[in-house]
Amino acid sequence: MAFRLGWKTSRSHWSFLQAVSSGFPLISWRTAGSCLDPEMKAYLEENTEVTSSGSLTPEIQLRLLTPRCKFWWERAELWPYSDPYWAIYWPGGQALSRYLLDNPDVVRGKSVLDLGSGCGATAIAAKMSGASKILANDIDPIAGMAITLNCKLNGLNPFPVLTKNILSTKQGKFDLIVLGDMFYDEDLADSLHLWLENYFWTYRTRVLIGDPGRPQFSGHSIRHQLHKLEEYTLPEPTQQDNSGLTTSAVWDFHP
């Protein structure tokens, strides 16, 4: 089976909660700019492509897996690291990033937490739009490296990346939390919902969610606490790579 079919069509094989419950090492990547392992960096650069096409944000360059990359077609088990969810620009993240670029006042001068950052595109969009402080969060340390590489591609100084389970750590106040494509697993959705509610009532922090309408999101109780801000038609390549999903929306959380 081609690598792209082995993991890319679903974000449930190596979920956030599975990683935590299995004892997967959760490493804090706090000095991302100076912690790039040369061998791993070379491997990522060799097996990804720099691209800005086929997404809602042509302003942002990213290192991604594309049809021109070997592992787009290769068997998934041959990839030597954890499943590279960071190497796909998921549609919820695309919508969030587009929204921040089009509405810079949402983030200008504010502190932003990008939860489940993946390739880092939404955090990068926040930085491009004038955010004063950014923390990207993803449990995969390799995502931390990818985010650092993607910052540099876009002429940005790398921002901190936390590769711990943020749902079980205490965090200070952020002005804005953004998360895209995180409602792909029912148990994770429940945990996220509870954490976001607690965080909102503690700090009155604004929360924006990007999602293309996956069943785990559309059927979740959190939908009763959301207001749709914008909906985007996905570019044809993104539709083809995401089982025919045609739109992606940004939602404002109001518990």
The per-residue pLDDT for range 132-168, each reduced to its tens digit, is 999 999 999 999 999 999 999 999 999 999 988 888 8
The DSSP 8-state label assigned to residue 54 in this structure reads S
Helices 38-47 and 141-153, axial angle in degrees (round to 10): 70
Q: Which element (helix H / strand E) includes 18?
A: helix 16-21
* pLDDT tens per residue across span 197-238: 999 999 999 999 999 999 999 999 999 999 999 999 999 999
Per-residue confidence band for 8, with pLDDT thresholds at 50, 70 and 90? very low
Residue 29 has pLDDT above 80, yes or no: no
User: Which DSSP string do the residues of 165-215 spell out, in sequence order?
Assistant: -GGGS-----SEEEEES--SSHHHHHHHHHHHHHHHHHH--EEEEEE---H
CA dist., res. 154 & res. 224, Å (int):
37
**Coil, helix or strand at residue 4:** helix
So what's the pLDDT on residue 35?
56
Q: Which amino acid is at 67?
A: P
Residue 55 DSSP label: S
| Helices 91-102 and 121-128: angle between axes, nearest 10 degrees | 0
For residue range 79-132, list pLDDT tens digits in order: 888 889 999 999 999 999 999 999 999 999 999 999 999 999 999 999 999 999
Please state, in angstroms and as integers, the Cα–Cα distance from residue 33 to each residue in 85, 118, 141, 175, following that order.
21, 17, 13, 24
